[in-house]
Amino acid sequence: MPHVVVVGGGGTGGAVAHDLALRGLRVTVLERGEVTSGTTGRHHGLLHSGARYAVADATSAVECIAENRILRRIAPGSFEENDGLFVALTDEDLAYLPGFVEACRACDIPAEVLDRAEALRREPGLGPEVRAAVQVPDGTMDAMRLPLRFFATAQSNGAVIRTFTEVVGLRRQDGAVTGVAYRDDVTGEEGLLAADLVVNAAGPWAQRIAEMAGVDVPIRCSPGVLVAVRGRWCDMVVNRLHRSGDGDIVLPQRGLSVIGTSSWVVDDPDELHLPEDHIRTMVTEGSRLVPAVAHAEIRAAWSAVRPLIGDGGSTTGRELSRTFKCFDHAERDGVEGFVTISGGKATTLRAMAEATADVVCRRLGVEAPCRTREQVLLPHTAYYTSHESMRSTTRRAPTATVTPNADATPAPTARPGAVARTVTTSRTATTGGTATTSTGGTTATSNRVLRVSRWKPGWPAPAQLEYVVPVEPRTTVLDALRNIRWHGDASLTVRHSCCHSSCGTCGVRVNGAEVLGCVTALADLPAGPVTVEPMANAPVLSDLVVDMTRLYDGLERSGRPLVRQVETTGRTPRAKVHRSGTSPASVRLEDCVECGLCVSACPITGTDQAYLGPAVLGAAARVVAEPRGKDVRSVLTWVDDHDGCWRCHLSFACSEVCPTGADPAAGIMALRGALTREHLRWRSDGHRGADRPADEERTAAR
């Protein structure tokens, strides 16, 4: 079967890999960071119904509603089916309503008009300005975990996903593209990979890849700012009923409310800043829709770049369509073996992949129909538990460059400004940031020293490398690490995706304490060098990246749901809706972001690897508290063990470091309470032993 290399591990690249693998092709994805670490992981999290585009961009609206329906079918459990409200606040908004509803209906988007009272009844978080609203089938999605399901399924069908592997050139023969040149940032290896066809799915960076093939693609890089505040201040996705503008969407996501977004254009997707005035606009405009966000603590603010189809004429990006386009460069530019896919939305990733795979198969003479409309995707955890690339024993650093104590210290990749042990980065890169201690409005920079723990496969011991990084008031530990990677030392590997504490991938130990790097501002840390180490109690794969297999295995086993599918729109009692993100009673059961900080901090896990650990036990407690069809008894039987909930020694370190308030220690205590009641029941009234799980059953459950 032909071999296709996909450049870029965002949602689009993942969906392309899935489609091609299902059609029986050999597929390799090369991603320079962790998958979804580009725009994908950082988007707003809105499963579009298409209503936002119905008036001005019908093509995109039709694509969105079609894919909205398909995704709910093939990725059950990945969305909150919370619906969206388009809210009219002014006379002008009211005048927009009839045309909006008509346009929605023309695009086959269900749209129900609500008067003020009904809108407030269905979404009490709305502000007093509301005049009327229209309800549409928008939803909340997990920006990282939905694409992970595409990667996981592609992998299970034979696709190879190579992370931290940057494409640095294209192999050409007689004008045709015949493969890629790459650099592996884990091993330092540089190599060539032959391919029958290369798909350029590099999102905002697609033009750079296209240039390697000597072609141009009309991609406009259009960044936008998003702000996450603590607390879930609405249950539906609340949009302003007007032409798309700044700060006109408030979206509930786990224990946060995310306000977005703004829009401008840049030439370089890495020139991505976080303008203070955009952050202020998000809060001001967002609070007109949902007033409570004005007083909520800002958890994070960040920006990301849209890869839109368009030429140089656009000034804000708003006027460009959100549709997508697949460029067959053989047909368009006479360059065989090369296809680019760009534009679109995260919501339309599957359709983008179908269009691309159709072109690829036609070019390669493969006759296989698209099956991704029906194929239900594997859970996101399957991506990590079956992802061999980082763990592979064949992925070893060449020994010549890896002896930390020899003269040839683990050499940072030679870049301007880099010296042997101390690397100074020259560009500030605050693309995400916390806002709790920011001096707001200032962009003054100062230098900060980071001492980062480094280790690669093949090194005899970890080494600490020192980096000098320019920082602004909002610069986070993750910003600084990304800055080092992009502008100082590309060999530094660090995981990240969302930049606002919802994906859970950027856990590290900073000055000895477990934190999410994306919401830890350097300005909040004591003066002096900042030490950054990988999380403890998990094998290190490379530098700050640890193997999460055990955690994900346990989480999958617990059967916990990732999202609560329905908790509003009148279909469930309002009493189940929790508004504040601060009181323990209001913790949503889905607030765990699977970061593993609790496992790293747990003193028992440090000494007993058989212990199920706080995250998994917390997840089990969630299932017991709210089974939603799951078998509670089998979960209780599983955790009723000396390596289960009885092993905890009550240090509570897990809950202290938990970044979301998911409170795993309370979960462990709840499991003990539930088991104690069960044991008493088993011993009482002649039922002794009757329905208590037999020892063999308990052993099997382990």
Span near ligand FES by CB under 6 A; candidates 120-128, 166-174, 203-211, 490-498 = 490-498
Q: Which stretch binds ligand SF4 (CB under 6 A): 80-88, 559-567, 593-601, 670-678?
A: 593-601
The continuous run of DSSP H or E covering 280 comes out as helix 276-289
Q: Does 597 bind ligand SF4 (CB under 6 A)?
A: yes
CB 257 within 8 A of CB 231: yes
Residue 592 as a binder of ligand SF4 (CB under 6 A): the answer is yes
| Residue 496 binds to ligand FES (criterion: CB under 6 A) | yes
Contact 658, 501 (CB under 8 A): no
Build a one-symbol-per-residue string for 485-504: x at contacts with ligand SF4 by CB under 6 A, - elsewhere. Answer: -------------------x
Q: Which two tokens stand for residue 247?
A: 């700060």
Among 50, 137, 188, 307, binds ligand FAD (CB under 6 A): 307
| 499 lines the binding site for ligand FES (CB under 6 A) | yes
- C-alpha to C-alpha distance for 142 and 422, rounded to whole angstroms: 38
d(CA 388, CA 373): 27
Cβ(239)–Cβ(86) below 8 Å:
yes
List the x/- string, 511-530, binding to ligand FES by CB under 6 A. -----x-x------------
- Listed residue (449, 417, 544) closest to 491, CA to CA: 544
Distances (CA, A) of 637 to 557, 645, 684, 692, 700: 13, 11, 18, 9, 10
The span of 93-101, 105-113, 442-450, 498-506 binding ligand FES (CB under 6 A) equals 498-506
Of the candidates 253, 501, 637, 660, which one interacts with ligand FES according to CB under 6 A? 501
Among 4, 13, 85, 481, binds ligand FAD (CB under 6 A): 13
**Nearest Cα to Cα of residue 535 among 642, 644, 654, 620:** 654
Contacting ligand FAD (CB under 6 A), which of 4, 11, 240, 496? 11
Residue closest to 86 by CA, chosen among 226, 227, 289: 289
End-to-end CA distance of the chain: 42
- Can you tell me which of 139, 252, 260, 664 binds ligand SF4, judged by CB under 6 A? 664
Q: What are phi and psi of 398, to 5 degrees?
A: -65, 130
Told to check if 487 binds ligand FAD by CB under 6 A, we report no
State the Cα angle at 42 between 243 and 218, rounded to 5°: 65
201 forms part of the interface with ligand SF4 (CB under 6 A) = no
Helices H, strands E: what count in the chain? 19, 29
Q: Which positions from 574 through 613 interact with ligand FAD, judged by CB under 6 A?
A: none
Question: With CB cut-offs between 5 and 8 Å by kind, which of ligand FAD, ligand FES, ligand SF4, none does residue 503 bind?
Answer: ligand FES
Strand ordering across the sheet containing 256-260: 112-115, 132-136, 84-88, 237-240, 249-253, 256-260, 219-230, 298-309, 432-433
User: Of ligand SF4, ligand FES, ligand FAD, none, which one does residue 618 interact with (CB within 5 to 8 Å by kind)?
Assistant: ligand SF4
What does 501 interact with, of ligand FAD, ligand FES, ligand SF4, none (CB < 5 to 8 A by kind)? ligand FES
* Closer residue to ligand FAD (CB): 351 or 370: 351
Cβ proximity to ligand FES, 44 vs 72, nearer residue? 44
CB closer to ligand FAD, 266 vs 449: 266
Asked if 501 and 477 touch (Cβ cutoff 8 Å), the reply is: no
Contact partner at residue 596 from ligand SF4, ligand FAD, ligand FES, none, CB < 5 to 8 Å by partner kind: ligand SF4
- Residue in 227, 263, 222, 234 with CA at minimum distance from that of residue 246: 263
CA gap 67, 49 in Å, rounded = 9
Binding mask 195-224 for ligand FAD (x = CB under 6 A): ------xxxxx------------------x
Tokens of 166: 């940057």
615 binds, among ligand FES, ligand FAD, ligand SF4, none (CB under 5 to 8 A by kind): ligand SF4
* Cα→Cα distances 397→31, 58, 340, 400, 502, Å: 18, 51, 32, 8, 32
**645 is a contact residue toward ligand SF4 (CB under 6 A):** no
Q: Strands of 418-558 (E only): list them.
A: 422-424, 432-433, 446-454, 463-471, 507-510, 513-516, 530-533, 540-542, 545-546
In 3D space, the residue among 645, 636, 639 whose CA is nearest the CA of residue 669 turns out to be 645
- What is the C-alpha to C-alpha distance for residues 688 and 691, in angstroms, rounded to an integer? 8
Is residue 594 a contact point for ligand SF4 (CB under 6 A)?
yes
288 scored as a contact of ligand FES (CB under 6 A): no
Interface residues for ligand FAD in 148-187 (CB under 6 A)?
166-167
List 186, 662, 670, 674, residue binding ligand SF4 (CB under 6 A): 662
Q: What is the nearest approach in angstroms of ligand SF4 to the Cβ of residue 661? A: 8
Residue closer to ligand FES (CB basis): 300 or 701: 300
| CA-CA-CA-CA dihedral for 261, 262, 266, 268, to nearest 10 | -20
Question: Is 63 near ligand FAD (CB under 6 A)?
Answer: no
Q: Decide if residue 286 touches ligand FAD (CB under 6 A).
A: no
Among residues 12, 428, 568, 660, the one that binds ligand SF4 under rule CB under 6 A = 660
483 binds ligand FES (CB under 6 A): no
- How far apart (Å, rounded) are the C-alpha atoms in residues 164 and 160? 13
Q: Rule CB under 6 A: say whether 309 interacts with ligand FAD.
A: no
Among 306, 560, 564, 588, binds ligand FAD (CB under 6 A): 306
Q: Which stretch binds ligand FES (CB under 6 A): 197-205, 287-295, 336-344, 504-512?
A: 504-512
Query: What secondary structure letter does DSSP report for 40?
Result: G
Count of positions on this chain that bind ligand FAD (CB under 6 A): 39
Name the nearest CA neighbour of 167 among 40, 13, 15, 273: 13
What residue 664 binds from ligand FAD, ligand SF4, ligand FES, none (CB within 5 to 8 A, per partner kind)? ligand SF4
What tokens appear for 126 in the block? 């709305």
- Cβ-based nearer residue to ligand SF4, 463 or 666: 666
Q: Which of the 8 DSSP states describes residue 418?
A: B
Residue 410 interface partner, choices ligand SF4, ligand FES, ligand FAD, none, CB cut-off 5-8 Å depending on type: none
Residues 602-641 as x/- pattern, contact with ligand SF4 by CB under 6 A: ------------xx--x-----------------------
Q: Does 48 bind ligand FAD (CB under 6 A)?
A: yes
Q: Of 503, 454, 451, nearest to 477 (Cα)?
A: 451
Overall size of the chain counted in residues? 702
Provide the binding-site residues for ligand FES, judged by CB under 6 A.
496-499, 501-506, 516, 518
Provide the binding-site residues for ligand SF4, judged by CB under 6 A.
504, 592-598, 614-615, 618, 658, 660, 662, 664
Provide the binding-site residues for ligand FAD, judged by CB under 6 A.
7-13, 30-33, 37-40, 43-46, 48, 166-167, 201-205, 224, 226, 260-261, 304-307, 344-347
